[in-house]
Amino acid sequence: MTLSAADWAAIVGYLLITLFLGLYFRGRSGKSTEDYFVSGRNVSWWLAGTSMVATTFAADTPLAVTGLVYTQGVAGNWLWWSFLPSGMMTVFLFARMWRRSGLITDVQFAEFRYSGKPAAFLRGFRAVYLGLLMNCLILGWVTKAMVNIISTSLGVSDAKALAICVFFLMPFTGIYVSLGGLWGVLWTDLFQFVLKMAIVIGVAWYGVHAAGGMQQMLATLAAKRAAAGPGASDITAMLPDFSRGWTGEALWTLPVITFVVHLTVQWWAFWYPGAEPGGGGYIAQRIFSAKDERNGLLSVLWFNLAHYALRPWPWILTALAAVVLYPGLAQPERGYMMVATRNTPHAVLGILLAGFMAAFMSTIATQLNWGSSYLVEDFYRRFLKKNASEVHYVNASRLATAFLCVAAAVVAWNLTSVSEGWKIVLELGAGTGGVYLLRWYWWRVNAWSEISAMVAALVTTLALHSSALWMAIAGRPQPFSGSDPVIFAKTTLCTTGVTTLVWLSVTMLTAPEHGDTLVRFYKKVRPQITGWKPVAKIAGDETVTRDLGRNLLSWLLGCVMVYSMLACIGALCFGRYSTGGIFGAVAVVSAIAISRSMPKPNEWRTD
């Protein structure tokens, strides 16, 4: 497909706007690493929250959602919908404490909560493990998705598409990130989010129209299900087909065992970027950048509402259109771009590509800024060069950004699919979530708890994959049987069990942290006193926090609100107005209850 002059004008215009924002905020980001990485802690909730949403709206997301719907139905999205309870815990149980900590990166937490050589090792290890290994996996699968988009849209080979990403889009993103720091990223994210939402809503509109309109599309899907006989489930159902049994497999079906693992284990046990148990990564970075506690909490609340309820349905509707228009695809993830490029007017192709460039670049921008903050603040500055000037560290951050661009390109070339990258990161983080939750609420957790959890998850995952590979080569039965979703559920359950047992055992077999460290943390963060009574006695301070019950109620109401809003929007899209009205009413009542349970004005800390 060839681009017209108007298409090129739209693309160049988008690039010029992002470059202008990077240049505009250069002066505000270059004074210190605090300005560069957390915007001088002066960001409003709506800007920080929208940036979180824009970051999770990557080029890979519409493609991955299309692949899930195409193979497992709408219910396949529980792979990521199940992380909402974790996100809502970050809102009501952790956001205020993160903001009180005064950190620049969440990896610094290691030497804030713990002490001695184990704490220093943990900080350095997490900086490299997350900032380099995990970050490059994320950057790699996002780049892989953009390769699919470019090759499908322009009809070029994957090699040429990768070259466009590696030698132009990523360096260009690196330029405006290195110039503008987090301020540039935040405002660019706002612009990119508006553009991306307009694009995906337009693609969904044209896709459904090409499938004959909503009612005709639903009728066609029902006819396909009837033609497939008992071997197919309702592709539009938000819940799995429980009549299939525990591990039942069928067309457009999410196995029940996988759904149960997602909803009961995954949200608290798995580390995943943007949904870390207890918060972390770029979510914590945005909280650090907020003006105060209130803005920090509201930013994450807005993020969860937009991320899980407002944004998914344009992708899902396009995926359903792809099932109708392009059945039997060998690579279902490409179905999204087939709908987008073949059914939208050719006149808007340039805007369409600019929108996907925005999706790609917003995520790349955050991952580069976040990853370089780990490598510079938590490794280079902490262990290699401690007393250089702030300008030196800002320049080092810019070099780290360039390095991550190159590393991500290598990973993208070796990934076979977007979903492969998702699953690798989920498996590597299985079982570590429990320690990330309890380290705030239980004084007994120590540095060895986190170290053992990360090592156990990594070793168990590698062992399971190695044994599966060895058995395949030897022609022996695999350790776990079933479809890919069933095997994923069984594997991650095993990893979670081993990892949780290891870190709890290590915690009880090793000494607690030094009393001075625990008292300093307790006085600074003010966690719920229930799990900190021994430390509170040493601190001798009468000011205590007893808000866990209220926060847990708000957490539950938040989950009900967002899931109800998600179901409401879906029902309205499908023309089920009575059902949509009921779910909408539940969402509104939950929102009112949350507003009444929020802290009073005198309970917010502003320092």
What pLDDT digit, counting tens, does each position of 166-210 carry?
778 777 776 766 666 677 778 888 888 888 898 899 999 999 999
pLDDT at 448: 95
d(CA 433, CA 355): 34
Q: Would you state the pLDDT for residue 416?
A: 61
302 pLDDT above the threshold of 60: yes
State phi, psi for 42 to the nearest 5 degrees.
-140, 35
- 18-74 pLDDT tens trace: 777 767 766 665 556 666 666 667 789 999 999 888 878 777 788 889 999 998 999
Most confident of 75-79, 226-230, 421-425: 75-79
Write down the pLDDT at residue 443.
Answer: 96
Q: Tell me how far apart the alpha carbons of residues 23 and 31 are, in angstroms, rounded to a whole number.
A: 14
Share of the chain above pLDDT 70, in %: 91
What pLDDT shows up at residue 66? 93
User: What is d(CA 517, CA 168) in angstroms, rounded to the nearest whole number?
Assistant: 47
| pLDDT band, very low/low/confident/very high, at 532 (cuts 50, 70, 90) | very high
Q: For position 370, what pLDDT does the model report?
A: 74
Q: What pLDDT band is residue 283 in, cutting at 50, 70 and 90?
A: confident
What phi and psi, each to the nearest 5 degrees, are found at residue 254? -90, 120
Q: What is the pLDDT of residues 491-519, one digit of tens each?
A: 888 999 999 999 999 999 999 999 899 99
pLDDT of residue 30: 56
The pLDDT value recorded for residue 584 is 97
| Nearest CA among 402, 477, 448 for reference residue 177 | 402
Instruction: Find where tokens 């000494």 sit.
Output: 511
pLDDT at 12: 84
In this predicted structure, what is the pLDDT of residue 29? 56
User: Measured between alpha carbons, how far is 509 from 595 in angstroms, rounded to an integer?
Assistant: 43
Query: What are 324's two structure tokens?
Result: 């109708």
Closest CA to 495 of 441, 395, 427, 439: 427
Whole-number percent of the chain with pLDDT over 90: 37
Tell me the CATH number for domain 5-513: 1.20.1730.10
Alpha-carbon distances of 478 from 250, 463, 464, 470, 481, rounded to whole Å:
21, 13, 10, 9, 6
For residues 225-250, average pLDDT = 82
List Cα–Cα distances, 305 to 86, 239, 401, 518, in angstroms: 13, 20, 31, 34
Average pLDDT of the residues of the chain: 85
When pLDDT is cut at 50, 70 and 90, the band that residue 471 belongs to is confident
pLDDT of residue 41: 76
Domain definitions of the chain by residue range: 5-513, 554-607
Say if residue 227 is exposed, middle or buried (CB neighbours under 10 Å; 0-12, 13-18, 19+). exposed
User: Three-state SS string across 520-584, please?
Assistant: HHHHHHCCEHHHHHHHHHHHCCCCCECCHHHHHHHHHHHHHHHHHHHHHHHHHHCCCHHHHHHHH
Give the tens place of pLDDT for each residue, 484-493: 778 888 888 8
The tokens for 411 are 């990973």
Whole-number pLDDT of residue 582: 97
Q: What pTM, to 2 d.p., does this model score?
A: 0.85
Q: Which of 197, 242, 83, 60 is nearest to 562 (CA)?
A: 83
Of the ranges 24-33, 239-248, 293-302, the best mean pLDDT one: 293-302
Nearest CA to 36 out of 397, 405, 403 is that of 397
What is the longest distance spanned by two Cα atoms in the chain? 72
87/93 Cα distance (integer angstroms): 10
Residue 43, classed as helix, strand or coil, is: strand
Q: Regarding predicted confidence, which is higher, 390 or 435?
A: 435
Q: What phi, psi does 586 have (nearest 5°)?
A: -60, -40
Phi, psi of 183 (to 5 degrees): -60, -45
For residues 542 and 195, what is the distance between their CA atoms, to the nearest angstrom?
51
Confidence of residue 564 (pLDDT cuts 50, 70, 90): very high
Residue scoring higher pLDDT (249 or 420):
249
Residue 552: pLDDT band (50, 70, 90) is very high
pLDDT tens, residue by residue, 98-117:
999 888 888 889 999 999 99
- pLDDT higher than threshold 60 for residue 257: yes
